[in-house]
Amino acid sequence: MEHPHHRVVHRVHTCQGCGVSLREVKPFKVDIRQVFDVPPVAIEVTQHEREVKSCPHCRCVQQAEFPAHVTNHVQYCPRLTALAVYLHHIQLIPYKRLSDTIEALYQHSMSTGTLANMVKRGREALESNMDIIEDALLDSNILHVDETSLRINGKLAWVHVACTSRYTYLAPHASRGKKATDDIGILPRYEGTMMHDAFDTYPKYTHATHALCHAHHLRELKGFIEQGHTWAMRMTTFLLAAKQAVEAHHGALSEEEARRWERVYDRILAKAQHRLETMTPLPKKALAFVRRLQKRKEEALRFLREVHVPFDNNQAERDLRMVKVKENISGTFREETFAQSFCITRSIVSTLTKHEKNVWDSLCLLLTGETLDRVLSTT
């Protein structure tokens, strides 16, 4: 570190050879070793004192104003709320362990109920910023969408994601299908290109264009290859080669090149269909896959022509990953409100991370009333 917080100079006072004092001799060299450490931490109490005065001329009583965030006789500050939100939702520490952690680090006892209320207040402060994320997603030319299961109060539920490389919107819902995406409200209003897997809910939004995720297709093809289907290997080779060709052309092929790749695509699927339809017993799953790629050819090959359309939906899968990590580390949700709180916080944090913002500092700002768009715009 160029400018350390503290300097400790270890001086040479005496010559070990002859005993002469070296106190006035300047060193010809200084060796440096730096030690990084955490200073002692403690919760500080700030006492706000509001003056009340009586005017000696007119006897009117005048009083100063407390800061807007100081509303009770005794309360916790937004930074401590940010700490509870950060450790619970970001580092996935359950309330009991969070209580133990704060007592061990800060020598201050906080009940699990108090911490739960702080996290709830944090959610209320962050929730209004979800509209900013929603507006940004609706304005984007590509939208990654996906869903994953989780359990709320012992029942199967789903977390839905709509995201880009810059913004993330997570929302829990009891339903997996169109009722959920309608209730969440982003997909019914989106008019760009929607990137997703073959789940049948997404194509129902016909005012958007659609693109299919080839990472899903490659996983399915791997299974067919293991079953001995040679056409699946050819289709795998085709998809990976097409991906490389698009990357080599900076994200999009010329129309002539795209049509050439389309013809190869059509031939592979036509031969696969002919082969599968003559097999006994009929390989229904493989045949359904081939027919799906034929029927949805435009969606499958959109990445060839449109530079903003990626090859896969890995962005959505990455943004959903923390839902499963949360389940594995600290269990499922007891109430839907807890799941909503988690999704709101993770949406905000994911968006901050994508903008390369310091999560802790940004959370502190947001919980003191700053808006997400202003936090994202700061350098």
Overall average pLDDT of the 10-34 stretch: 95
CA distance 134 to 167: 9
The DSSP string of 188-239 is: GG--SEEEE-S-TTGGG-TTSEEEE-HHHHHHHHHHHHHTT-HHHHHHHHHH
Kindly report the length of the chain.
379
- CA torsion 275-277-279-280 (nearest 10°) is 180
**Model confidence pLDDT, tens digit, residues 62-95:** 999 998 888 899 999 889 999 999 999 999 999 9
pTM: 0.89
Q: How far is CA 152 from CA 95, 146, 159, in A?
A: 17, 19, 11
Spell out the domain ranges in the chain: 214-308
pLDDT at position 236 is: 98
**Model confidence pLDDT, tens digit, residues 309-353:** 999 999 999 999 999 999 888 778 888 999 999 999 999 999 999
Q: How far is CA 365 from CA 77, 245, 370, 378, in A?
A: 12, 45, 5, 11
Percent of the chain scoring above 70 in pLDDT: 100
Helix (H) or strand (E) holding 241: helix 230-248
- CA torsion 13-18-20-26 (nearest 10°) is -60
**Model confidence pLDDT, tens digit, residues 219-237:** 999 999 999 999 999 999 9
